[in-house]
A = this chain, B = another copy of it.
Amino acid sequence: MGALEPFDHGITAPQGFRASGVHCGIKRARKDLALLYTPHLASAAAVFTSNAVKAAPILLAQQRLQDGVLKGVVINSGNANALTGPRGLLDAELMASRAARTLGEHPATFIPASTGVIGRPLPMRNLIFGISVAAAKLAQTREAATHAARAILTTDTVPKEVAGRVKLRDGTTVTFGGMAKGSGMIAPQLRGLHATTLGFVTTDAAVPRETLQAMLERAADATFNMVSVDGDQSTNDLVVVLANGQAGNAPEAADGRFEAALTEALAVLARKIAQDGEGATKLLEVEVQGAEDLDQARRAARAVVSSNLVKAALFGRDPNFGRIAAALGYSGCRLAPDRITLRLVASGGSVLLVRHGEPRAYSGTAAYRRAHELLRAKEIRIVADLGVGASSATAWGCDLSYEYVRINAEYTT
């Protein structure tokens, strides 16, 4: 961390990006349609769900992004337009082309994105009406960014935004903006192109398309693909980055420092998604150190944040090192039980749970009571040192609460 200089703003922070968010009647009362637009043709990079059941907007976006340039995205919540057959594809196409045409742009310069219930046709009348309203409300203001960020939410409880600046090698300062949604049906899935939720990042930097795509893939692997709320991978996941070049930097100056800032922007959004996981009362951050290689470190960290037993223990404020060790054990990463060291960090304090395979904090011990106290915090960090190598990785998740069950037992098809 440190490349991105953050400030309070959202998706419209960079020059030349406008957004809006409105209610068009897909949901009962809350905003359900967002528009994102730049009049300057932007380099576009994207990663998609690797689920074999892909929603119609994903299929269309994959096709349109082959050109690597876009002017906008139209996003609805409340209906995923998934498992909707040929009609779903036509609807996705109409949704994007209507947004483009309303703004006087070529249909191929817009992509659609959808999130919500699966298996129901999009209510196209509402959408078409909504698009005209959203187009009329497009603005570059701070408020417009939040309206858009709110309009893409489903079971999320708070909008998720990010903004920051970074100075490039050629002296140009470029700006990032972003918004994301994701609360349930969230799990990392590392196969080819992939993503785990909806994420949108804008920047006024000039970046060649191929460079941007490569950077996004690496950044998504380290951020969005390290988030797990429930282990379920969606049919609609999508992360898109638009770079419209308005900052006027030399394209070759968008190098390592730019990538670091992009990764930070995505990390901020990823962390916010984990924190707002369905029913979550706590954010869980797991850092695995001392793994044999990066892939193994990531596997191990993801296994711990994805474990239902670890998540339920966290909800119950139980520093259950046995479940953490078991999750590391089945993650598929190489380890030696007698080298594992586990530390719990929260609220500025820390407790050693296991040292070189030897439990320190079983119930009845002072360490257990101290850990139980630390677990009152809203942000919990577990540091797992495997002691077999030099690679590390961080994953984000949340606890498993009664509320998660309630939300998902009541949410209907």
Contacts and interface: CB of A to CB of B under 8 A. Distances in A.
B83 A320 contact: no
The residue in A52, A307, A320, A340 that gathers the most chain B C-beta atoms within 10 A of its C-beta is A52
Interface string A300-314: 000000111100110
Contacts of A128: none
B319 A83 contact: no
Contact of A308 (B117, B328, B337, B408): B408
A405 B359 contact: no
A335 to B, nearest CB: 5
A118 B354 CA distance: 12
A7 interface: no
Given A53-B328, A118-B323, A368 B413 contact: yes
A330 interface: yes
A51 B333 CA distance: 10
A198 B368 CA distance: 29
Interface of A is mostly: loop
Nearest to A318: B412
A185 interface: yes
Oligomer copy total: 2
A121 to B, nearest CB: 9
A114 interface: no
A185 B309 contact: yes
Given A184-B309, A309-B184, A119 B83 contact: no
Interface stretch (A34-42, A61-69, A226-234, A249-257): A226-234
A72 to B, nearest CB: 27
The residue in A307, A308, A327 that gathers the most chain B C-beta atoms within 10 A of its C-beta is A308
A80 interface: yes
A307 B230 CA distance: 8
A322 B409 contact: no
A83 B322 contact: yes
B328 A119 contact: no
A318 B362 contact: no
Contacts of A359: 83, 118-120
Interface in A145-196: 184-185, 187, 189
Interface of A: 50-54, 80, 82-83, 85, 117-120, 184-185, 187, 189, 230-235, 306-309, 312-313, 315-316, 318-323, 325-331, 333-335, 337-338, 340, 354, 357-359, 361-363, 368, 400-402, 404-413
